[in-house]
Amino acid sequence: MRLAFLGTPEAAVVVLDALVDAGHDVAVVVTRPDRRRGRGPELTPSPVARAARARGLTVVHRVADIEPFEVARGVVVAYGAMIPASVLARTPMLNVHFSLLPRWRGAAPVERAILAGDALTGVSIMTLEATLDTGPVHLARRVALRGQTVSELTDELAHVGARALLEVLASPELLASPTAQVGPATYAEKISGEVLHLTPSMPGELLERTVRLERAYFLVDGRRLAVRRAHLVALPDAAASTVVRLGSEIVAVGERAALALDEVRPEGSRSMTGLAWWAGARWNEAPRWS
């Protein structure tokens, strides 16, 4: 099938590769413009732009540029912007959405499923509408949450979604007969810095889930410490809101739970083990975290 592909992050590359490998004619790829990353002046292309150019595919940055390519359909995977109704009127589009709709419509369905402690999530292949993730669903596939980090779960969903999309494109019946979403809708708002901020008052399950988002942090004596990996341990006999060394582990003691810091990144530094951070900081007494 002659297709347009719209996507931006690494997870979308999985689906793009699957379409091309399955023999679909991806006539044009739409992705977000190149961005500056870090402090340098260089512009960095999106993962989808890099992958598409490596395969010799045409890359554009405006959705309106699809029209001259006369595609049968568009495929959208984490593009990062709403598609105008005027474009959808000319080009029907399928969206590979990383949740079991109508649960977690919106920008951060994977993160919100982890934070909520959902036992199941999945992928929905839906017809895209101009409103937010409201379209009828052609096919859904379930995926169990088993303690995956956000990157692990996103990668799993991308592969499940790629297979489901190919199944829909290969089936005239599935393409022609999507079903309306059923049940209460929930919305996956973008994850703010406030959500990612670990605090001593949090219950253990929320500390653990937030760390699995891979962008969690807390403040140690006023300085930001990113927590890349950590695991819950028994609450020790130590003052709440302190960070202590217990044997071979560095533990952030909370009011109701404690986190052993496996991998951290101090402000302005590289990632390191909790022990390496502790040794380099040379605390004279247990520092406080907040």
What does 25-66 look like in DSSP terms, one character per residue?
Answer: EEEEEE-PPPEE-SSSS-EE--HHHHHHHHTT--EES-GGGG
Please write the tens of the pLDDT for every residue from 224-276. Answer: 999 999 999 999 999 999 999 999 999 999 999 999 999 999 998 999 999 99
Cα separation values, 176 from 76, 94, 180, Å: 18, 12, 13
- Per-residue pLDDT at 40 exceeds 70: no
Kind of pairing between the strands at 249-253 and 216-220: unpaired
As a whole number, mean pLDDT of residues 13-23 equals 98
Query: CB atoms < 10 A from the CB of 48, how many?
Result: 28
Q: What is the pLDDT of residue 224?
A: 96
Q: What is the pLDDT of residue 37?
A: 67
- The hierarchical CATH code for the domain 193-281 is 3.10.25.10
- What pTM, to 2 d.p., does this model score? 0.94
* 3-class SS shares of the chain: helix, strand, coil, % to 5: 30, 30, 40
Distance CA 130, CA 25 (A): 25
- Per-residue pLDDT at 38 exceeds 70: no
Q: What is the pLDDT of residue 136?
A: 98
- Per-residue pLDDT at 41 exceeds 80: no
- Could you state, in order of their start, the residue ranges of all structural domains in the chain? 2-188, 193-281
- The hierarchical CATH code for the domain 2-188 is 3.40.50.170
Distance CA 3, CA 158 (A): 19
As a whole number, mean pLDDT of residues 39-58 equals 88
Q: What is the pLDDT of residue 77?
A: 98
Residue with tokens 């059923």: 182
- Per-residue pLDDT at 42 exceeds 90: no
Please write the tens of the pLDDT for every residue from 147-178. Answer: 999 999 999 999 999 999 999 999 999 999 99
Distance CA 133, CA 33 (A): 23
As a whole number, mean pLDDT of residues 3-30 equals 98
Q: What is the pLDDT of residue 221?
A: 87
Q: What is the pLDDT of residue 110?
A: 98
Candidates 289, 263, 290; CA nearest to 275 is: 263
Q: What is the pLDDT of residue 34?
A: 73
- Per-residue pLDDT at 39 exceeds 80: no
Candidates 79, 81, 108, 112; CA nearest to 96 is: 79
Across-strand partners of 3? Answer: 26, 73
Backbone angles phi, psi at 135, to 5 degrees: -70, 160
What is the three-class DSSP state of 164?
A: helix
Query: CB atoms < 10 A from the CB of 31, how many?
Result: 25
Q: What percent of the chain has pLDDT over 70?
A: 98
